[in-house]
Chain A
Amino acid sequence: MSYEELLTELAVNDERYIVMTAENRALIRNLPAKLGSRFVDTGITEQTMVGAAAGLALRGRIPVLHALASFLSMRAFEFVRTDAGIPNLPVKLSAFIPGFLSDGNGATHQAIEDVAIMRGIPNVTVFAAADEQDLVGMIETIWNSPNPAYLRINTRKTDYQHTPFEIGKAEVISEGADVTILTYGLLFEQALIATQILKDQGLNVGLLNMRSLKPVDEQAILKVAASSKLLVTLEDHFNTGGLYSIVAETLLKHGQSARVMPYGLDKWFKPALLPEVLAYEGFTGKQIAEKILGYTTNAIQPTIATPEFAE
């Protein structure tokens, strides 16, 4: 099932749903015909869309908003914070092409601080999907929750079968005494590759899909901090304010210590098509594994298909 199919099913059968967009229709092409007046395209007006969503939520609706992650989280930031965050209204943000998924667009379209700024707003919950199956498995729970929610959309397909989603819980893929990779979103795909390479090199490797970033699974973080010699926070996000910060805050809060390798970004990335971006910035599974090992392996990096441009 795709994002659009599930959204259609939920929205058609529940009058509370209003599907909104600031002219970003890539994932909701067929919704206007299905929903009629409950599909609202405000044009390229992210701020007005979020304000209007708050008004709709005041009247008992569940608005689901679609725009590029950079414009939804940053252009409309104060509207999210003031109109959805302060009154704790169930405004649901679906953020397209977060992180590396903006490939050749350039810095204007790179949402790599979105987790930091969205989780900084009280009441706003933050999630990221590892792939399409993970996405489809989480949205009903997120949209049924009473809080505003920011969701990093990722519709890439992987073969991985995810376990059922729960707000505030990490998905434990594997456990390992030598190293544990904590990641979310697009890089889950690369983390799986890296994990396999590390296992082939004889390491005992754990992997967590941190799909609920706020609330975060503190117990899962504390557990791997105690049982693993090294933690790696892998993210297509600035190290400031993202998962590295979340792990640091959690350890500090509970008076626990750990060796943590931050594996995120410190500046905007080089714009190009996704496979080239990953290789240039050092985020292919093979590069991740080699950086963790500290030496070069003979492992083969699987080819990554060039994504369809889906701004």
Chain B
Amino acid sequence: MSELEDIAFKVRQHIIRMSTDGGCFVGASLSATDLIVYLYTKFLNINKDNLDDPNRDYLFLSKGHDVPALYGTFAEIGLMDVERLKNHLSVNDNIYWHPNTKIPGIEFHSGSLGHLPSVALGVALDIKMRGGKNRVVCILGDGELNEGTCWEAVLVANAYKLDNLIFVVDRNQFQANMPTEDLIPLEPLHDKFTAFGAAVKRIDGHSFDALHEAFSAYPFQEGKLNVVIADTVRGKGLPSISARADRWFCNFTHEEIESLLKELAGDQTTQLTSETLVVR
């Protein structure tokens, strides 16, 4: 799994470089990085040559604001030219704060929370109807689970026995302003999904071994929606921002970026001087 560690490190470097000159949702991108890298390199049958193949797998990024992790992964696995990352927020490209399908490999636009569980469900339903073997993954934020439509999708997936559908919750414990448990508590999350009819695994979302063990058990149980609750750390890799409620959307100075890149490599911590942005 060390090659995955290398890829994830490079993806995190890309994310940090995108968090200036307008900024991005850096904390959530860093928490989802290992999930996304694992899924694209080890689990999903998705590559630049099979995007038009109806028998390939699908990944829907529902929370959306973690898309820098997806851009970075695409750059590392050859789905996107790495040079394009420099066009973040430019009118000359389509690389901005939420996903859009002008980037080949992105399945659907998102950013309005609680939409893609339903869209992914529709794709999984069609695959079932046609007797296909492809798998449909949908990554959700934990804060996103506030939205009632997420739970409607679980109910419907249960009704239609969609064991080809996998909801992965990036359980980084934070929503925009504060810890999830301080606002709208989600726990016991495992029990909630189980009570709604899903087959649930809860794992360390930064351990490639744990991810591999969980996804190797697909389908978790015949006729049941698969749910992976991946326990993660918002801002993973950067101690100076991780677990800080006020560092959600970040627009760092160029000096901070240089320092954060060193921090990622384990060399130093960063004294953040840029203003904490008041978001949401």
Q: Which chain A residues have a beta carbon within 8 Å of chain B's beta carbons?
A: 23-26, 29, 41-45, 47-48, 70-71, 75, 104-109, 270-273, 276-277, 280, 306, 308-311
Contacts and interface: CB of A to CB of B under 8 A. Distances in A.
Contact of B22 (A23, A42, A280, A309): A309
B64 to A, nearest CB: 7
Contact of A106 (B91, B100, B146, B280): B100
B89 A272 contact: yes
Contacts, number: 99
A157 to B, nearest CB: 16
B76 interface: no
Contacts of B251: 309
A25 B143 CA distance: 15
Interface string B91-103: 1000011111000
A25 B279 CA distance: 7
A272 B90 contact: yes
Nearest to B145: A44
Interface stretch (B108-116, B157-165, B203-211): B108-116
Given A45-B184, A276-B89, A306-B22, 11 more contacts: A23-B143, A25-B280, A43-B183, A43-B184, A104-B22, A104-B96, A105-B96, A273-B89, A276-B91, A309-B279, A310-B279
A268 B97 CA distance: 15
B110 A108 contact: yes
Given A23-B143, A44-B143, A106 B279 contact: no
B97 A43 contact: no
B117 to A, nearest CB: 14
A62 to B, nearest CB: 23
B191 to A, nearest CB: 19
Which of B110, B113, B176, B280 has the most CB atoms of chain A within a 10 A radius of its CB?
Answer: B280
Contacts of B91: 270, 272, 276-277, 280
27 contacts: A23-B143, A23-B183, A25-B176, A25-B278, A26-B278, A42-B184, A43-B184, A44-B146, A44-B175, A45-B148, A70-B112, A104-B96, A104-B97, A105-B97, A105-B98, A108-B111, A108-B112, A109-B111, A109-B112, A271-B96, A273-B22, A276-B89, A306-B22, A308-B275, A309-B249, A311-B279, A311-B280
Contact of B277 (A24, A47, A308): A308
B221 interface: no
A270 B91 CA distance: 7
A277 B90 CA distance: 9
B109 A106 contact: yes
Interface of B is mostly: loop
A240 to B, nearest CB: 21
A290 to B, nearest CB: 19
B237 interface: no
B248 to A, nearest CB: 10
A272 B96 contact: yes
A271 B22 CA distance: 12
User: For chain B, which range describes its interface: under 10, 10 to 19, 20 to 34, or 35 or more residues?
Assistant: 20 to 34
For the complex of A and B, 6 pairs with smallest distance between CB atoms? A108-B111, A43-B184, A43-B146, A44-B146, A106-B98, A271-B96
B86 to A, nearest CB: 14
Interface string B64-100: 1000000000000000000000000111000011111
Interface string B102-130: 00000001111110000000000000000
B177 A25 contact: yes
Contacts of B280: 23-26, 311
A306 B277 CA distance: 14
Interface of B: 22-23, 64, 89-91, 96-100, 109-114, 143-144, 146-148, 175-177, 183-184, 249, 251, 275, 277-280
B147 A45 contact: yes
Nearest to B280: A24
Nearest to B185: A43
B111 A105 contact: yes
A45 B146 contact: yes
A276 to B, nearest CB: 5
A41 B148 contact: no
Given A105-B96, A109-B98, A43 B279 contact: no
Contacts of A306: 22
Given A43-B175, A44-B175, A309-B251, A106 B89 contact: no
Contacts of B111: 105-106, 108-109
Contact of A48 (B148, B183, B275): B148
A306 B114 CA distance: 30
Nearest to B64: A108
